[in-house]
């Protein structure tokens, strides 16, 4: 049987490199609670991401939940349903109501022409998603947020290291959340971060991820526990040494996919925008069954029969989840619905060989009639 190919595989340092990195922990016996590795990684990420402020978390989801809490949002938050469960859950778990805006059909980010119609006197923020690392329309979102006095928190879980006109993507809006999960371009096993513009938010975030503790004798916030531990941070320090090379390897994989699949009738792939330095985090393909001759599900099954496990990110839409049954109008986001039914994210990771990409493309194109 052929080896299995999964949608992704974590980038990892050599085991020797990680062991060398963590050895001092046995002397210091300092395992967590904002230790030396945590602080070192924070500094290194400020440089790498080109941002002013950062706060590390035990995972991306808690980072998002707590930055929403730190902003003291109320009422309604405009967001998109074409995302991972985390984005919507983080809003709901803060006692807020997500109001779903449709996505645009070009890059599946929030449709900026539809935001203003959704704003009411209860709206306090917009939480757009840089889905697959595709960057939202930053200037238009900023214009709308200013006009209606709304906070903006970007879900940048997929956008680690992405730059626009040379500027780190974590510099936009009031804050951005990055995920450092094992499946991401850069990982700390589990992990995440918030980058933010106002240093007051930093103090709030620090407290919220550490039980609301201000000092030994003063607890003045209802905080959680979402600290990144030293083993996670050490993994991050190792992975950060290699991340630029890993992104380049991903780029080669993506270029091969594009070479094989662009221009095929009924297959939509997204190309790099000129002003964007991409991180090549995901490779989504949208199948129009009428033109291509096969449905997304048929292609997904065919790949599965060959031990190739592509994923239907992001199907189902979060506004159709069972846990939200009857709560949202599932027909309010028709473009997102169209894409979610047809999208497949193909395997993509730094060590995926070009032979494997060709094998995947051959299976996809098998039986396709020009």
- Residues of the shown chain interacting with ligand T4K in the complex, contacts defined by CB under 6 A: 6-10, 59-61, 83-84, 86-87, 129, 155, 157-158, 179, 181-183, 192, 309, 313
- Euclidean distance between CA atoms 347 and 282, whole angstroms: 8
Cis peptide before 314 (omega within 30 of 0): yes
User: Concatenated DSSP letters for 281-293?
Assistant: --EEEEE-HHHHS
We find the least distance from the C-beta atom of residue 303 to ligand T4K, in angstroms, to be 13
**To the nearest 10°, the Cα dihedral for 155, 139, 185, 316?**
50
At 358, list the tokens.
């060709």
**Closest separation in Å from C-beta 69 to ligand T4K:** 16
Q: 181 or 207: whose CB is closer to ligand T4K? A: 181
User: Nearest approach, Cβ of 180 to ligand T4K (angstroms)?
Assistant: 7
Task: Closer to ligand T4K by CB, 34 or 62: give it.
Answer: 62
Q: With respect to ligand T4K, which residue has the nearer C-beta, 61 or 207? A: 61
Smallest separation (angstroms) from ligand T4K to the CB of 90? 8
Residue 237 vs 352, nearer CB to ligand T4K:
352
Rank residues 108 and 257 by Cβ distance to ligand T4K and give the closer one. 108
- Report how far apart, in Å, the C-alpha atoms of 129 and of each of 75, 107, 123, 149, 226 are: 20, 11, 18, 20, 22
CA distance 65 to 82: 18
Indicate the residue among 53 and 83 with the shorter CB distance to ligand T4K. Answer: 83
| DSSP 8-state code for residue 110 | B
CB of 293 to ligand T4K, least distance (A): 27
**Residue tagged 């790949």 (tokens):** 303
- 362 φ, ψ to 5°? -60, -40
Please, what's the largest Cα pairwise distance for the chain? 72
Residue nearest to ligand T4K (CB): 60
What is the smallest separation between the CB atom of 147 and ligand T4K, expressed in angstroms? 26
Contact indicator for 77, 98 with CB cutoff of 8 Å: yes
């Amino acid at each position: 049987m052929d080896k299995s190919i999964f949608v992704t595989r974590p980038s990892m340092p050599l085991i020797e490199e990680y062991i060398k990195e963590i050895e001092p922990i046995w002397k210091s016996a300092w395992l967590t609670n904002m230790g030396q590795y945590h602080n070192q990684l924070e500094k290194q990420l400020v440089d790498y991401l080109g941002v002013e402020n950062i706060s590390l978390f035990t995972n991306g989801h808690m980072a998002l939940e707590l930055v929403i809490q730190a902003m003291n949002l109320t009422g309604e938050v405009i967001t998109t349903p074409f995302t991972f469960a985390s984005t919507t859950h983080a809003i709901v778990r803060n006692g807020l109501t997500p109001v779903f805006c449709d996505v645009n059909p070009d890059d599946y980010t929030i449709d900026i022409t539809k935001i203003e119609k959704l704003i009411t006197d209860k709206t306090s923020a917009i939480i757009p998603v840089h889905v697959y690392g595709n960057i939202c329309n930053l200037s238009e979102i900023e214009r709308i947020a200013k006009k209606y006095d709304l906070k903006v928190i970007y879900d940048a879980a997929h956008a680690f290291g992405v730059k626009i006109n040379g500027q780190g993507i974590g510099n936009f809006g009031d804050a951005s959340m990055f995920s450092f999960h094992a499946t991401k371009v850069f990982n700390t096993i589990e992990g995440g971060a918030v980058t933010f513009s106002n240093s007051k938010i930093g103090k709030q975030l620090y407290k919220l991820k550490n039980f609301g503790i201000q000092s030994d004798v003063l607890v003045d916030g209802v905080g959680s526990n979402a600290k990144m531990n030293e083993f996670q941070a050490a993994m991050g320090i190792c992975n950060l040494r290699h991340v630029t090379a890993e992104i380049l390897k991903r780029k080669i994989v993506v270029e091969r996919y594009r070479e094989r699949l662009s221009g095929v009738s009924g297959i939509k792939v997204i190309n790099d925008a000129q002003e964007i330095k991409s991180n090549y985090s995901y490779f989504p393909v949208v199948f129009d069954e009428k033109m291509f001759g096969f449905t997304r599900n048929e292609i997904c099954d065919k790949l599965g029969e060959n031990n190739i496990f592509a994923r239907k990110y992001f199907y189902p839409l979060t506004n159709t989840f069972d846990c939200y049954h009857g709560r949202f109008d599932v027909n309010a986001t028709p473009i997102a619905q169209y894409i979610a039914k047809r999208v497949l994210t193909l395997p993509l990771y730094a060590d995926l060989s070009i032979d494997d990409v060709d094998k995947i493309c051959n299976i996809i194109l098998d039986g396709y009639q020009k």
